[in-house]
Amino acid sequence: MEPVVVDPGSQLLKAGFAQPDSDPSLVLRTAMTKEAAQDEFAGKSLDLSQLDVINPVQRGMVKDWDAMEDLWRYVLYSGLGWEPGSEGQILIAEALLTPKASRERMVQIMFENFNVSGLYAVEQAVLSLYAIGRITGVAVDIGHGKIDIAPVWEGTVQHNAVKRFELGGQELTSLFGMELRKAHPELNLDFATVEAMKERHAAVAEDHVAYSNYAEDCDTVEHTLPDGKVIYLGRERYAVGEALFQPSLLGIEEYGIAEQMLRSVSSCVPAENHRQLVENIVLCGGTSAMSGFESRFQKEAMLLGTPSIRPSLIKPPEYMPDNTLRYSAWMGGAILAKVVFPQNQHITKAEYDETGPTIVHRKCY
C-alpha cells in the first residue's frame, strides 16, 4: 500500500496516496461541525452558518486536537479506505514554526491512536520546492490564514530568515466585502458568498499607479448573485491583490510581499547564497493563483532587487499536474514519500515505542 500524504491547511485539507503525477484524491474543508465530527461526516457540504463550527486548524496551527483527530479519522478510514489493524505509513506536511509540543502531540496521536506503521513530517515550504524540482529557493505561501516566506537551502528551512504573517485569504475576503459594500451599499452578503466571488473575480493591477487610476477608469465584470441579481464589479476586485503589495489597505503598517521576500533572503548567511535563493522563487497557496499576481510580484521584486541579481519565479515541470502550485506542499510530499519510506528514513513504530514522541525532532528536521 502506498504511503498517505496529508497537508492540513487552515481552510482546506489535502490528502491522498503518494502519487506525484496526480492531484490529491481528497480536498475538503477543515472547518467541521459538532454533528459532522460525531457522525464522521467532516467535509460534508452543510450550511455552516446554521451550525456550531469547529476550526481545528487556525493560522496553520492545530488548535483543537480532538476535532483534528476526528478529521484525520474520517480522512484515513472513510476517505482513503484504511482498515483498522492494517494501517500504513503517513507523511504529514507541517506549517512553518510549528511548536515542538505540537509536533510531539501529532506523532503521539498517529502512533498510539491510529497505529501507523511509519511516519515522516516535513515543513510545507520544503515540500513546495520539491514539487517544482528544487531543493534550494524561496517559498512564498499565501494561504487562507497566514502568509509564510521561507528561504530553503538544500532542503533545510533557514529559520532565522523566515517571515510569517498571521493574515491571509480570510482577511482579503473581509477587505473585498468592505469594498463591495462601498460600491453596492444595498447588498447584504454572507462571508461564504463574498469568498466565492473573491476566488472567481479577484485580480491584481499591473502596478500601484494602475491601481490608483482604476479609481477613475476600470473595466468591470458581471457577476450573478445566488438570488439571480446581476451586479458589476470594478475597482473593488483589484483591492484584494493590491493589499498584498500595499498592506496599508488592510490597516497594517508593513512592507509589501515582494519586499518582505527580499528582506527575508537578505537575512540569510552567507551572502553568496542570495543569488541562488532569489533565482528560485515559488509562489504557492490558493491566493497566489489570482489573475495578474505572478507578473506583479515579478515586477515588484525586479524593481526592489539589485541590478546584479534578477529575481525569478520558477514554474513546475510540464509533466506535473496543472494544480501543482495550488497543492504544492501535498505534491512535494508525494514526491518525498517515494524516497523516505523505501530508504527507511522515517520514524518506525519500533523507534517510537523505544524513544517516544521526541524522536520527531531527531528524525524529521
Task: Report the alpha-carbon distance of residue 89 to residue 108 in Å, rounded.
Answer: 14
- Written as tens digits, the pLDDT of the chain (365 aa) is 899 999 999 999 999 999 988 999 999 999 888 654 444 445 554 454 556 789 999 999 999 999 999 999 999 999 999 999 999 999 999 999 999 999 999 999 999 999 999 999 999 999 999 999 999 999 999 999 999 999 999 999 999 999 999 889 999 999 999 999 999 999 999 999 999 999 999 999 999 999 999 988 898 999 999 999 999 999 999 999 999 999 999 999 999 999 999 999 999 989 999 999 999 999 998 889 999 999 999 999 999 988 888 899 999 988 888 899 999 999 999 999 999 999 999 999 999 999 999 999 999 98
Please state the φ and ψ torsions of residue 327, each to the nearest 5 degrees: -115, 35
CATH architecture of 4-131+321-363: 2-Layer Sandwich (3.30)
Task: Identify the CATH homologous superfamily for domain 137-167+255-304.
Answer: ATPase, nucleotide binding domain (3.30.420.40)
CATH architecture of 169-249: Alpha-Beta Complex (3.90)
- Range(s) for CATH 3.30.420.40 in the chain? 4-131+321-363, 137-167+255-304
- Range(s) for CATH 3.90.640.10 in the chain? 169-249
Q: Are 325 and 283 in contact, with CB atoms under 8 Å apart?
A: yes
